[in-house]
Amino acid sequence: MYSKIIILHFPAEVAQKALVCQLTIKFDLMFNILNARISNRKEGFMVLELSSATRSGFNQGVKFLKDQGVEVSNPEQQIFKDEEICTHCGACTAVCPTEALYIKRPEMEVIFNKDKCSVCELCILTCPTRAMGLFSKNTEEVI
């Protein structure tokens, strides 16, 4: 099983289309919506855990979304951890629901595993030093 968390930005023109459901119908993909919202400009934002039996099936699904005008990016292009500011206090690890932030022992270093991040933004609200942040919209290639 190939599985990955991806970020989708839907321009207003396509935000009302049921494109994500078509991933299952057309490409036999499974998805789990981790976060979703719509802006006051009617643009959509969604964090999706997308799973496929094969890597090529996953890639076909992502290509389909892009062909429909959806911008697809990776979580690490949205959430960043500033290593120069982080004091490794561990506060963010207590709120991170996916264990994307965890304490490496015995070094007691707080590590950010981008592959597990669901972009819930709880760490940003929690971090006392503002080491966790959000990049603006980015459309670098996922596949």
36 binds ligand SF4 (CB under 6 A): no
Interface mask (CB under 6 A) for ligand SF4, residues 10-29, using x and -? --------------------
Q: Which two tokens stand for residue 125?
A: 């609200």
Q: Is 119 in the site for ligand SF4 (CB under 6 A)?
A: yes
Least Å distance between CB 133 and ligand SF4? 10
Q: Smallest distance, Å, CB 35 to ligand SF4? A: 9
> Positive or negative CA dihedral for 62, 116, 78, 141?
negative
Which residue number, 17 or 116, has a Cβ lying nearer to ligand SF4?
116
Of 56-115, which residues contact ligand SF4 (CB under 6 A)? 79, 81, 86-92, 95-98, 100-101, 110
Q: Which of 14, 38, 122, 143 binds ligand SF4 (CB under 6 A)?
A: 122
Contact 43, 89 (CB under 8 A): no
